[in-house]
Amino acid sequence: MVEKNLDFRSDTTTWPTPEMREAAAKAAVGDMGYGEDPTVNELERVAAEVFGKEAALFCTSGTQGNAVSVLAHTDRGDSFVCEARAHLYTIERGHWSVIGSLIPKLVKGVDGFLPPDDVRVAIGRRRRAGPKTSLLCLENTHLSSGGSPLSPEQMKEDYDVAKEYGLGVHTDGARIFNAAVALGVDVKEIAKGSDTIQACLSKGLAAPVGSVVVGTESLIEKAKYYRGMLGGSMRQAGIIAAPGIIALTKMVDRLAEDHANAKVLAEGLQRLGIELRLPLKTNMLFIDYTGIGWTGEDWSKACERLGWKSRGGAMGTRLVVHYGIEREDIEAFLEGLEKII
């Protein structure tokens, strides 16, 4: 039985599965600072294997995973290239600036994809006199373009440009498994286009806490140093790592259900006159209810009446479909909404 979790705000709101709760309770633990937590070590082994990379690092969150990765690739004062609306640039409190003293060079993406020529221009600009550009950051799926997946071919195109100029590549793969499932490819194929990848365990995969960073031994070693600096060297963390192992080994394929349910939701909303601001690609919808004359407050109140959590913005809002939301819940939501409209 899946515990109902009628919350459209984000897939960060997912609750652990009963199996995860049991695994957490029974997890073997040790001091992670000494490298002695067997469950954390196992999670890192599994993560490296799943992505086909040499090593992995368990981090407290996606933000921490991105921060330690960016720091591992760069020296203070370097610049890095990233998409203009990338989560790590716009939302993560500027760790790259505050801790890394890094200078961002922004490229406007097309559905999250950075056109290779624009990446070249960004790297090349002021190359002789400007700061050293050492890193290209990608985001897959790309949140601001509606959860767009980047294909292995797209990743490779940007990866090749980065390598032409001697840059490292980091991917914010908070939802990289949504990309793999939507594209029907093994995540290893996507991972080939990046030196490090941060993947969240606590979004669609439903683990309660954490992210993994995967990459080469040497980059992971550097990232580990920065994880310690950022307070991420936890102690008996096996308790939170155990659900992470289940996330990686048992929760990936079911993301297809979320994508299918998101499609049912999108079609149902469109029938009611609520538009999609961006094409649906994976598990998130960006909707616009102004066409039916609704305000954000109308939307929030309607959702509250129907027992759902969703915050309406002035022009529309984001709805994320995830574990804990099933087909019948979407259908009941649409029926209720129709009556209110």
Q: In angstroms, give the least distance from the CB of 97 to ligand TLP.
A: 16
Q: State yes or no: residue 190 binds ligand TLP (CB under 6 A).
A: no
Nearer to ligand TLP, 211 or 261 (CB): 211
Considering the rule CB under 6 A, would residue 143 count as an interface residue with ligand TLP?
yes
From candidates 90, 91, 117, 217, binder to ligand TLP by CB under 6 A: 91
Q: Is 174 in the site for ligand TLP (CB under 6 A)?
A: yes
Cα gap 70→223, rounded to integer Å: 8
- Nearest residue to ligand TLP by CB is 62
- Residue 144 binds to ligand TLP (criterion: CB under 6 A): no
Site string for ligand TLP, 210-249 (x = CB under 6 A): -x--------------------------------------
Residue type, 117: D
**Which residue from 187, 200, 287, 330 is in contact with ligand TLP, where contact means CB under 6 A?**
200
Q: Do residues 317 and 296 lie in contact, with contact meaning Cβ atoms separated by under 8 Å?
A: yes
| 101 three-state secondary structure | coil
CA-only gyration radius of the chain, Å? 20
Q: Which residues contact 282 (CB under 8 A, 6 or more apart)?
A: 141, 147, 148, 149, 175, 178, 179, 181, 182, 258, 259, 262
Judging by DSSP bridges, how do beta strands 103-107 and 133-139 pair with one another?
A: unpaired
Based on the shown chain and the rule CB under 6 A, indicate whether residue 87 belongs to the binding site for ligand TLP. Answer: yes
Is residue 150 involved in binding ligand TLP (CB under 6 A)?
no
Does 12 engage in binding with ligand TLP (CB under 6 A)? yes
Question: Considering only residues 139, 157, 195, 258, which one is a binding residue for ligand TLP as defined by CB under 6 A?
Answer: 139
The widest CA-to-CA distance across the chain, in whole angstroms, is: 64
Kindly give, in sequence order, each residue whose CB lies less than 8 Å from that of residue 70, ignoring residues fewer than 6 positions away.
80, 88, 95, 96, 100, 102, 135, 137, 170
Residues binding ligand TLP: what is the number (CB under 6 A)?
13
Residue 26: burial class (beta carbons within 10 Å; 0-12, 13-18, 19+): exposed
Using CB under 6 A as the binding rule, the residues of this chain from 47 to 66 that contact ligand TLP are 61-63
CB of 143 or CB of 251, closer to ligand TLP: 143
Hey, is 56 helix, strand or coil? strand
* Residues lying near ligand TLP in the complex (CB under 6 A): 10, 12, 61-63, 87, 91, 139, 143, 172, 174, 200, 211
